[in-house]
A and B are shown apart, each in its own frame.
Chain A
């Protein structure tokens, strides 16, 4: 089982963005209802950097969503004033702060908020020098984050480490090092949780094909005990995989990762899609937009 954080209530969305700005609850509540019904475990409320009156917006958004859904909320903004307003407005279910990075100023201000509001926190492995370059740098950054959070009194089990996924069309090696790190996290900090923004992997791919990459990638992460994922809450197939309803596909992908390659001729359409996508994500086949049909 993978905990699913639905990413759709996002200021970048063409319908939700304007609704947030105009404080029009209708479209947002409609979406929250659908996501809840689809089986999301958390609702991410992404208001972006929210430089102007971010606190007001987050406060309003939390209350608006709360009217129609009891799901725990993931508060998603880089504006820590807005973050705090959201934490204050949230009166039920332990919230998730998305996110606190390893950049010193963000750690310094973000960590005390986690303890004050008894939230869970996403530890984003983004440091002073930007993104980690390989699995070892991710490991070092994870240790650093957990240590600093523990020092401030945050239990490791409240920390959700995000190793940062990057698009397959940029570099397959980064995808592999993210997976390698996931295989190490259990040894580094057994109580720590993990979270990955799946849609990053398919950034740049044709819109209609993105779910194929997101789904197979999640299955690959599941091999290393993925705790949660930030997902497209409208992708019902992805949600059903997360809920453990497609064990045969999970097994297929994990077998391929173990080097047990099936005969492609023996696979049905759906299995073939997973097979081809796994090979692309493992860097065995170079990505192109036609990866499913070649």
Chain B
């Protein structure tokens, strides 16, 4: 008797979403199987990594994360160019953390100006993420949409509290939205339904079901992503058949474990290696849960994950 490997049969497929400006688009999604189950279906577009750039100089990063960008850390446009030219970034994720009213409270105009500069400096697809303050993000992202008219940015987070205003603006200026929900599959589906009702086209939606860092609730986030993929591929739930983005770097690099020096916690080992590995492992986990876009920070963590994606895609 010969042994046959049991196979899952899929009835659904993830939508293919083109990101970035015309002529330079990168396509994500398109899976017809669980992540890397290439023996059961297809993953026409391997997961992509977007490198983070911040709107202003970060103040609470550990040395490990600053070092690769020390020469450009005050200039977002130069920072983005370095990511693309030196580190081969496939996408840029501009984090508008400085717009947070509890941080630097940069205005919508300032944020839009920075976004425009970064967008002019690189031609890879660009994700622009606000500070997760519902009101402030509405103002900021509307301004961002306007100055980058037609460049098909990926803007977010678009949440239940501001999806109407941001969604409508995104439609007007032809951008893609990141639909964000707090670790809950039912809410994720609901927001996608609402965006559909608002007439945001299906090929303009990416979903962010939230990510925690390794050791900080990652398993809950993993489980929700996994269930989203199951509903999309097995139950043909068309309001969940969207590519998933995982905004993981900012979660990883704020944990105690990447910051505490070896002198204080010798058991944690070399501080540099530690941060890079926690970021790479968090990324690896969400890849297996179904993430299509990883927002990452450290070039060495990124090359580890890229290598892994390559191996998984070629079946090595």
Contact = CB atoms under 8 A, between A and B. Distances in A.
B13 interface: no
Contact of A286 (B186, B194, B197): B186
Contacts of A169: 186
Contacts, number: 27
A290 B240 contact: no
Contacts of A286: 185-186, 189, 231, 235, 237, 240
A288 B235 contact: no
The size class of the interface chain B forms with chain A is: 10 to 19
A68 interface: no
B231 A290 contact: no
Contacts of B25: none
B214 interface: no
A287 interface: yes
B239 to A, nearest CB: 7
A290 B240 CA distance: 14
Nearest to B185: A286
A90 to B, nearest CB: 42
A287 B235 contact: no
B200 to A, nearest CB: 15
B205 to A, nearest CB: 15
B235 A290 contact: no
Contacts of A294: 193, 239
A188 to B, nearest CB: 32
B199 interface: no
Interface string A277-294: 000000011111110001
B45 interface: no
A286 B190 CA distance: 10
Interface string A260-290: 0000000000000000000000001111111
A284 B237 CA distance: 9
Contacts of B240: 286
Contacts of B237: 285-286
A58 to B, nearest CB: 38
A68 B190 CA distance: 45
- Among A169, A288, A294, residue most surrounded by chain B Cβ atoms (within 10 Å): A288
Interface of A: 169, 284-290, 294
